[in-house]
Amino acid sequence: MSITQEFNANVAGVSLADSLEPHLPPVLWRHKWNEYRAQLELPFTRGHMQNLDSQKRGPKSALLGGKIFYRKNDLLEWIAKEGWNNGCN
């Protein structure tokens, strides 16, 4: 069952962030965003995430070895705050 199917099946009282939480790694690298997007059915492309970051509208990020990453909890908090609904916003 995909993440979206799981979310749809549990939509009553379960947020998308809660549905994603057990499936996300502790750290999500932005350069691998399109892989996560395909696996987890996340919205937005890597380029869109880069744009959001440059506008200070994306999830809290950090830099390690010249690569941007998002901590799982920061991404989930941002998803909840932005009100992603079934990955369609």
Judge whether residue 86 has pLDDT over 50: no
pLDDT digits (tens, 9 = 90+) for 6-61: 545 455 567 778 888 899 999 999 999 999 999 988 878 999 999 999 999 999 99
- DSSP lists the bridge partners of residue 71 as 27
* pLDDT score recorded for residue 89: 43
Q: Which residue is listed with tokens 């690569």?
A: 67
